[in-house]
Amino acid sequence: MVGEVNRVLGDLLNFLTDNLSLLGMLVSFAYVIGPSWMVFLEKRDKLSRLGVWLYALVVMPIMVMGLWALLLPDTYCNDPLQHSEFRMFYPLWLPLFPLLVHQHRSPEVQHPFLYGIMLLVFGLLVFALTFGYEVLHLTYQNIEGSGIVFSGARAWECAVKDADAYVTASRAMGGSVAGFGLLLLTTMAFGRRRAGMRVEDDNGDNRGEREGPGDADDTDGGRQSRPSRLSRWSRRRQRGNVGDDASEVDEPKRKKPMPKM
């Protein structure tokens, strides 16, 4: 049985490697639909643990390698992406928003750590492909006074760029990616903590409604609130005063006896 499964998986892997276009289409479809589909199934309690782990351990590494190949193209010149090239990757942010909102706002999340790892890895790669390249080109232009000259303008093959300025711009790009990763981790941790606090508040309110106002506990020692002796005595005295006043009002005035002559 195990040998048959290994043989089937090997044949499937060989087929996908021989048809890289089909593999790219499947991986792209999994990236676009995967996060939203997991959120959709989890909200309806139909998400299986096996599906999430398969997505994280099988599909996710393939997508990471694809994004990494786009980020660092292995070419003869190793030129960075041009503005017209890396700005085509901004729509890659859209599939991550449903999972990010679910991670931040949902009171209960089945796989918070797996979702956090997915968002962190995909977020770093997509940020480097989009805003990271914006930082690289802007930093290089601020240093040199002009942007990188790519092939077709003044260069015959490779882009014309100053080596020192390009190294500084690459470091600025790496710093921006690291800062975004730290910000993303902080916001995800804060979002989960806030969602947990909302759940505790809701549970406390529901418990208070079930117990009723008479069954509420004191904040001091957890004992039920009872009227003190002084308050009971004061209410008793007030009732007595009210009764005395009422008797005085209701009682007719007695006539004084006339003195005898």
The pLDDT tens digits for 58-83 are 888 888 888 888 787 666 777 788 88
> At residue 204, does pLDDT exceed 70?
no
Mean pLDDT value across the chain = 75
Which residues have C-beta within 8 Å of that of residue 150, sequence separation ≥ 6?
Answer: 79, 82, 159
Hey, what amino acid is at 207?
Answer: R
Percent residues over pLDDT 90 in the chain: 25
Q: Where are the domains of the chain?
A: 11-200
Output the six-digit token pair for 234: 């004061």
Q: What is the model's pTM?
A: 0.68
CA of residue 158 relative to chain centroid, distance:
41
pLDDT of residue 139: 92
Give the 3-state secondary structure of residue 151.
strand
Beta strands in the chain (DSSP E): none
Distances in Å between the Cα of 3 and the Cα atoms of 12, 16, 44, 108 are 14, 20, 37, 40
121, 106, 107, 94: which is closest to 35 by C-alpha?
94
Contact assessment for residue 148 and residue 140, using Cβ atoms and an 8 Å cutoff: yes
The pLDDT tens digits for 12-52 are 556 555 666 776 787 788 899 999 999 999 988 888 888 88
CA 59 to CA 133: how far, in whole Å? Answer: 26
pLDDT of residue 4: 67
